[in-house]
Amino acid sequence: MTAVTGNVCGVTTQQPPVAKKVPSERTHHGDTVVDEYAWLLSKENPDTIAYLTAENEYTEAATAHLAGLRETVFTEIKTRTKETDLSLPVRKKGHWYYARTEEGKQYAIHCRRAVLDGETAPPVPADGAPLDGEEVMLDGNALAGDSEFFALGTLSVSPDGQRLAYSTDFSGDERFTLRIKDLASGETLADEVPGVFYGSAWSADGSTLFYLTVDDAWRPNKVWRHVVGTPSSDDVVVYEEPDERFWVGVGLTRSEKFILVECSSKITSEARYIPADDPSAEPVLIAPRRQGVEYHVEHHGHRFLILHNDGAEDFELAYTSVDAPGGWTTLIEHQPGTRLISVDALARHLVVSLRRDGLTGLRVVPLDGGSEYDISFPEPIYTVEPGDNAEYDTSVFRLAYTSLVTPDSVYDCDLDTGALTLRKQKPVLGGFDPERYEQTREWAVADDGTKVPISLVYRRGTPRDGSAPALIYGYGSYEASMDPWFSIPRLSLIDRGVVYAVAHIRGGGEMGRRWYEDGKLLAKRNTFTDFVACAEHLVKAGWTSADKLIARGGSAGGLLMGAVANLAPTSFAGIVAQVPFVDPLNTILDPSLPLTVIEWEEWGNPLESPEVYAYMKGYSPYENVADRQYPALLVMTSLNDTRVLFHEPAKWVAKLRATAPATNVLLKTEMGAGHGGPSGRYDAWKEEAFMTAWTLDRLGLAG
């Protein structure tokens, strides 16, 4: 391994780098803590950038021997991917809307084409070429230019099809600039609004656009109304949310009759509506917020559908009058163990997205008196969810389907008969044969006796004698479910004999709302112990051995990685932690940081509660670094990340180096990206190849 030597801004860049210590004290509930790396919070500090640069140089040198393998894996991903391709067109009124990619280009090109006379099914060119008569609405490559980062925050066509609202981010900090394009002339209008958040909603006539801005804590708190052709200085605040626990969203119903303004904390919500044909009207409250009650709204004819958890932990479906919103009348009663996720309202059918027994599902509810039914699928584990359904008056429902061995697939379901028609499956090139792989679900037993599902995919014929290498992935927060998904990059692991496992641990939503409740606040440790139980199950069941098992997780899943590194360091040969939330206590103690206040309902409020403070301090990875032999660690972060600030992984690595010097730890910082890492698809593949090569090296498969 090549040594990197020198000294920059107090940061010794020998092998490995050592960050300087600047003691900083904080005291809460009688507990005084000295944080020697708090100075890394400031990215304006030249010493911070010098430290991150030194770590990047060290990581580059320490992984130089993997350059060939990285290129091999990148080439595998690239050659398995159909680089020139086209998404399945979605019909909306008189156009088919779609996005396509071109070989050698990083970003999607967003297009539409007029529906031809008699055309009822979406056109699907086999070669991914542009459709005849194509109109390019927005070319991400042209917009990105030479920028290292590029992302869209909104992309919305007005109901009359004449205008396109779009917003762009060139740094990764998720602050977007909003613009409007005249689709008839191709001209970008003079309208420009900087500093907006994701999302937007058009009025019915396309004259008015609603958008969001954030407060200093990066919380979307204001809905604005912009009249096309007027300066942004004339824009009007339609709604402002003063409660720092609540995010605000804005959107247009599928019926295009109402603009919805929705406010949500982690456990409470409320919604208001504005008639889309009267955009200057004041928002009308549908139901006032009640602490602990969540409800979500969809418009359907003379009523608003209300999906809620009032006295219904796993949610039930009700409705209220559009003309005079008031009491809720139940349509689908609460059934414990069947978590209702969302409802899609079409003119003659409702389609309810749900999960039961750890699997997703879709239930069709005919509104003409016919019998309800669940759409069925043949595989033992899979993921199904609503697809792009832009039209309201239709009996065809588009759904997205995938599994660990089935590439992303789009079906149209005839809601009157239940018949499924496969419209498009993501191509996988290079001789991919799903019969070479197997998928299965097993159940680990947690410390308290809870059975925890694990989804596995592996090469057919993989031995069950503990000799196979494995990777186990986990998340376990925010009721986010890590449902089975297909991955082209994952094939580079599986084809080399690696067993890939997904641990569906508490804190996620895989097994319903109670599964989430039992992995948050003062039950958060269940998330970590569940993951360790899943890892131990893989070993006991003969899938792998501890010295051949890699763990991987990102964001809140990165907290999981840091926690299990402290909790069970001998259970893993290595850990990949992406944008990891590893300094949760210090972050949640500081309400001036982005997103802190809204997180109190997920983690607890350690400022107010000594019990929460002590509990969080007990599992915080940063607080519990000790002089022990950790597994090898690869830590990935981004300088412009707004969700998990870069200083958290930077501090963690600095403390690991000082406290546990025998640990093999690498820190790689993307200096021009945000929470999701590199934005271009080729750059993202290179990042994935970097992590895959490191993983294979730790598993002894780099040769």
User: Using one digit for the tens of pLDDT, what is the confidence trace for 553-605?
Assistant: 999 999 999 999 999 999 999 999 999 999 999 999 999 888 799 999 999 99
**Tens digits of residue pLDDT in 130-148:** 999 999 999 999 999 999 9
- For the CA atoms of 319, 321, 326, 328, the dihedral, rounded to the nearest 10 degrees, stands at -20
Two structure tokens written together for 213: 């801005």
| Contact of 148 with 672, CB cutoff 8 Å | yes
Alpha-carbon torsion (214, 220, 221, 226), positive or negative: positive
> For residue 9, is pLDDT > 60?
no
236 burial via Cβ count (<10 Å: 0-12, 13-18, 19+): exposed
Place of tokens 């999607």: 108
CA 294, 299, 304 angle in degrees (round to 5)? Answer: 60
Residue 455 Cα to chain centre, angstroms: 19
**And the tokens for 295?**
């409800």
Burial of 480-491, coded b for 16+ CB within 10 Å and e otherwise, reads bbbbbebbbbbb
Cα(398)–Cα(26) distance, integer angstroms: 54
Q: Which of 265, 638, 675, 697 is flagged as catalytic? A: 675
Q: Is the pLDDT score of 399 beyond 70?
A: yes
- Average pLDDT score over the chain: 95
CA angle 56/689/643 to nearest 5° reads 60
Whether 378 is in a domain gets the answer no
Buried b / exposed e along 125-149 (16+ C-beta atoms within 10 A): eeebebbeebeebbebbeebeeebb
pLDDT higher than threshold 90 for residue 26: yes
Structural Rg of the chain based on CA atoms: 26
Residue tagged 């708090």 (tokens): 38
Active site residue 555: yes
Give the CATH number of the domain where residue 654 resides.
3.40.50.1820
Is residue 338 domain-resident?
Answer: no
pLDDT band of 5, cuts 50, 70, 90: very low
Number of DSSP helices (H) and strands (E) in the chain, helices first: 12, 40
CA distance linking residue 668 with residue 361, whole number of Å = 39
Mean pLDDT of 401-415: 97
pLDDT of 677-691, one tens digit each?
A: 888 899 999 999 999
3-state SS, residue 232: helix
Task: Answer for the pair 305, 258: CB distance below 8 angstroms, yes or no.
Answer: no
Higher pLDDT among residues 216 and 613, named by residue: 613
How confident is residue 4, by pLDDT bands cut at 50, 70 and 90?
Answer: very low
Binning pLDDT at 50, 70 and 90, where does residue 14 land? low
Does 700 score more than 80 pLDDT? yes
Let me know if residue 553 belongs to a domain. yes
Kindly report the pTM of this predicted structure.
0.94
Q: Is the pLDDT of residue 507 over 60?
A: yes
pLDDT, residue 674, reads: 81
Question: In angstroms, rounded to a whole number, what is the distance separating the alpha carbons of residues 460 and 465?
Answer: 14
pLDDT of residue 306: 98
Q: Which two tokens stand for residue 130?
A: 């542009």
Residue 643 reports pLDDT greater than 90: no
Q: Read off the pLDDT of each residue in 474-491 and give the average, rounded to a whole number.
A: 98
Please list the residues that pair with 354 across neighbouring strands: 340, 361
Catalytic residue among 264, 555, 620, 638: 555
pLDDT tens digits for range 267-318:
999 999 999 999 999 999 999 999 999 999 999 999 999 999 999 999 999 9
* pLDDT of 65: 96
Active site residue 641: yes
pLDDT at 13: 44
**Which of these, 32, 304, 103, 151, lies nearest to 676 by C-alpha position?**
151
In a domain? residue 345? no
Identify the pLDDT of residue 128.
Answer: 82
The per-residue pLDDT for range 196-220, each reduced to its tens digit, is: 999 999 999 999 999 999 999 899 9
Give the whole-number percent of the chain exceeding pLDDT 70: 98
Label residue 675 by pLDDT band (50, 70, 90).
Answer: confident
- Region of poorest pLDDT, from 471-485, 602-616, 631-645: 631-645
In this predicted structure, what is the pLDDT of residue 120?
A: 87
Beta pairing class for 188-202 and 208-214: antiparallel
Contact 347/300 with Cβ under 8 angstroms?
no
Element (H, E) at 439: strand 437-445
Residue 675 annotated to the active site: yes
Burial class, 64, CB count within 10 angstroms (exposed 0-12 / middle 13-18 / buried 19+): exposed
pLDDT band at 12 (very low <50, low <70, confident <90, very high): very low
* 467 in a structural domain: yes
Domain extent, residue 671, equals 437-698
Considering the domain boundaries, does residue 592 fall inside one? yes
What are the DSSP calls for 663-686, one per residue?
--EEEEEETT-BTTB--SHHHHHH
Q: Examine residue 641 and state whether it is found in any structural domain, yes or no.
A: yes
Cis peptide before 16 (omega within 30 of 0): yes
Residue among 35, 583, 641, 697 flagged as catalytic: 641
- Whether residue 350 is predicted with pLDDT greater than 60 in this model: the reply is yes
Q: Which of 532, 542, 544 has its CA nearest to residue 506? A: 532
Hey, what amino acid is at 620? S
* Cα distances (angstroms) measured from residue 515 to each of 47, 107, 295, 405, 617: 43, 37, 19, 26, 23
* % of the chain residues with pLDDT over 90: 92
In a domain, 605, yes or no: yes
Contacts of 117 by beta carbon, 8 Å cutoff, 6+ apart: none
Which residue is associated with the tokens 């103690």?
589
Asked whether the predicted pLDDT for residue 8 surpasses 50, the reply is no
Report the pLDDT value the prediction gives residue 677, as an integer from 0 to 100.
82
Burial class (CB in 10 A: 0-12, 13-18, 19+), 447: exposed
Residue found under tokens 């689709």: 183
pLDDT digits over 257-279, tens only? 999 999 999 999 999 999 999 99
Query: Phi first, then psi: what are they for 596, rounded to 5°?
Result: -60, -50
The strand pairing partners of 438, in sequence order, are: 458
Judge whether residue 6 has pLDDT over 50.
Answer: no
C-alpha distance from residue 183 to each of 109, 135, 414, 516, 536 (Å):
15, 9, 33, 44, 57
Query: Looking at the 3D structure of the chain, how many domains does it have?
Result: 1
Q: Is residue 2's pLDDT more than 60?
A: no
